[in-house]
Structures are given as C-alpha cells and as structure tokens.
Structure 1
Amino acid sequence: MIDKNIEIKTERLILRELKEKDITEKYINALNDEEVIRFIEARYKKWDFESIKKYVMKSITDEYSILVGIFFQNNHIGNIHLINFNAIHKRCDLGIIIFDKNFWKKGIAYEALSSITNHYIESNILHKICADYNELNVNSEKLFAKCGYKKEGKFVEHILFEGKFVDSIRVSKIKE
C-alpha cells in the first residue's frame, strides 16, 4: 500500500495527491489537445469532466497507485502517476505529463520527476522506479536520463503509433 498523504515542495512546485477539486477546464482541454497527449495512452479517449473524475477517483481508491498533481503557484500544470506499487519488491512504474504548454522546456518536468523519485527512493519506500516511453519521444528520453534513470531494454514494435509499430523503451532508477 502506498502512502498517499504526501506533499513535496520544491523550489517552484508543490507535488501532492490529485483530488476531484483539482479537475479544471484547463485540465480537461489539455487531455484533448493532440500535441499534449501525442505520446501517452490518453490519446485514445475523448476526455470530459466525468471521465477525468472517474480516473482521479480510481487512483484515490486504488491502494497500489497514486496520482500526484504538479502545481505551480497553486495552478495544476501536470501529473506524475505512480502505479503497480509493490511493497514486497519495493518497486513501481510511473508516467509523467506536463499538460500546460506554458511550462514546457522550463525544467518543470525535471524538477518534478527528480523530486518524486528522490522522495520515494531516499526515504527507502521504494528500491526501484520504472518507466516506459515511446522510442520517438526524445523529450522523455532526455528527461529520464537527466534524472538518473538507466535504460533496461526495449519492447520491440510494442506501440501502435500514428499508423506504425514502434518500440517502447524501458528505463529505471534503482536505489544506490
């Protein structure tokens, strides 16, 4: 079971569990913006308040995941979703999105990902955090490398992307 009562403060951000009250029109619009969701599974669905509420509530009630909102000056600008939390093996998977384009290329994803990774690994809650990304997503490749994630391998032709099968890259960060 993952502790959901977290609030991580960084130089510019607050990271905390996402709640229903955090669902805004901006968030809904972002999840329907093709540029924002190009590389994530959200692209296969039309999002509205009810579908996002269901997604958020599922995470709140799921003892093996936590949906962490990324907030800049109390504005919700992105998420980190930790899933498949395994207390025995001390590992989980995660995904990250900065959906507010005003914060792209400003180090926000690095600040958020490095902070959440350090929180869970340095506090000895997790030994290993894993992630997968589309091989064409160069920004994810750079982000995970900058945060100290190492490539473990790839799933060949694992993702149908824009009409072609592409590889999924598997990375992880392990407690040193």
Structure 2
Amino acid sequence: MKDFPTIETERLLLRKVTAEDAQDMLTYLSDPLVVKHMGLDPFETINDALDEIEWYESIFRESSGIRWGITLKEQGEVIGSCGFLNMTTKHKRSEVGFELSKPYWGKGIASEALSAVVEYGYKQLQLERIEALIEPTNIPSQKLVEKQGFMREGLLRHYEYTCGKFDDLYMYSILKQDFDALKHER
C-alpha cells in the first residue's frame, strides 16, 4: 500500500492520524477508563501521543498493520482509532483493535468504525481471518465484537505482560465466510 486509504461511513471519516491530531489523542488516551483494557498506562504528555502516532506510521510503513483515526464527518477531531495490527500477509490474518473517547461511548460509533474496518480488511487487504484479543473484564468490547459476528474461541492465559501484570485475553475471530454470510443476512 502506497497511499494511506480513507474510509467513509454514514457518520464517520476514518483517516490517517497526523501530528496535528496529537492533542485530540492525548485527551482520550489520558483517560484511565479509555486505556483500562488496552495494556497502556494513561498518557501524560503530548510526546506520548506523538509516540503513538509514530507507531501508527511504522506499522503502515512495515505493512504489519494500519490504524485509522475515527472522526465525525462534521467535526474532524480525532475521537478514537480502529485498525489492524500484527498482520501476517502469508497467513492472511490480522488482529483488530479499537478505542473511543468516553463522551462517544454508547452511540454506535465504535460499531460503525469496526464494521467498516473489517469490511476493508476482507475486500481490500484480502484477509481470511480477523482476530480480536479482549480482556475478560472488558464486557463492552466483547459485546461489540460479538455483535459484529466474531466468535469467542477461547481464553489465552497470561498472554500479555502489560502495566506490571500478566493479562488473560479472550481470543475472538471472524472468518471471511462468516462475514460474507452476515452481509447476506443484513
């Protein structure tokens, strides 16, 4: 991929995050409730946000992922992100991740963004399998991916070491055939 793609939905514009968006990102990534299940400490400085933006750029450059900033069409302010990481083209699979600023929770925004990103993964990146790794205590994210057709496959015990502790993670996945079947039902 040479140029960073933009995805448009009914209410959202998913776009490349730039250094100009660092303050917006700092606003939500400094909220302990937003980062609680992300394996991150709350951001404290603008440099933390700039480092996150550099990570987004590096995974895109290396073709190991792509992370879009979530914006409402009428605003332009970055209120979250959604995208792929740990992408392996050989096996046609990737992990998907997302987060959203707290004032926008419960409005269907994360669902709308995730749906568009998953569709992009199957149609543009030719993925076969998309995974989501979610902490057992993160019920809202579990409900979100289940609503999108992801299936829980099992518990990965002490799968990650973040913020000074080992985390168990549920493995969820959706296959291209599952996605296609859901599209025909809707």
Same fold (TM over 0.5): yes
Deviation at 1:16, TM superposition (A): 1.6
Separation in structure 1 between the aligned mates of residue 160 and residue 54 of structure 2, nearest angstrom = 27
Q: 1:158 to 1:5 in 2, by over 3 A?
A: closer
Query: In the alignment, is residue 65 of structure 1 matched against residue 65 of structure 2?
Result: yes
RMSD: 2.3
| Higher share in strand | 1
Post-superposition shift, 1:59?
2.3
Distance in structure 2 (CA, Å) of the matches to 1:153 and 1:32: 31
Secondary structure of the structure 2 residue equivalent to 1:82: strand
SS in structure 1 opposite 2:80?
A: strand
Aligned counterpart, 2:28: 30
Identity %: 28
1:33-44 correspondence runs (5 A)? 33-43=31-41
Structure 2 unmatched runs, 5+: 178-186
Shift of 1:175: 0.4
- In structure 2, the CA distance between the partners of 1:146 and 1:88, relative to structure 1 (3 Å rule), is same
- 1:85-118: CA deviations, max 9, x gaps? 111111111211012x221101001000011001
* Structure whose residues are more often helix by fraction: 2
Q: Specify the alignment match of 2:12 in structure 1.
A: 13
1:73-95 superposed Cα distances (whole Å, 9 cap, x missing partner)? 21211001411111111111121
In structure 2, give the amino acid aligned to 1:121.
Y
- For structure 1, which runs of at least 5 residues remain unmatched after alignment? none
Amino acid at match of 1:5: F
Matched residue type, 1:103: Y
Q: How many residues align?
A: 172
Pick closer, same or farther for the CA change 1:91–1:166 going to 2, 3 Å: closer
Q: Tell me by how many angstroms 1:136 deviates.
A: 0.9
Query: 1:42 is paired with a residue of what secondary structure?
Result: coil
The letter of the residue matching 2:172 is: V
1:134 Cα offset (Å): 0.6
**Alpha-carbon shift at residue 173 of structure 1 (Å):** 1.3
Secondary structure of 2:68's aligned partner? strand
State the TM-score, normalized to the length of structure 1.
0.86
| Correspondence for 2:93 among 76, 84, 91 | 91
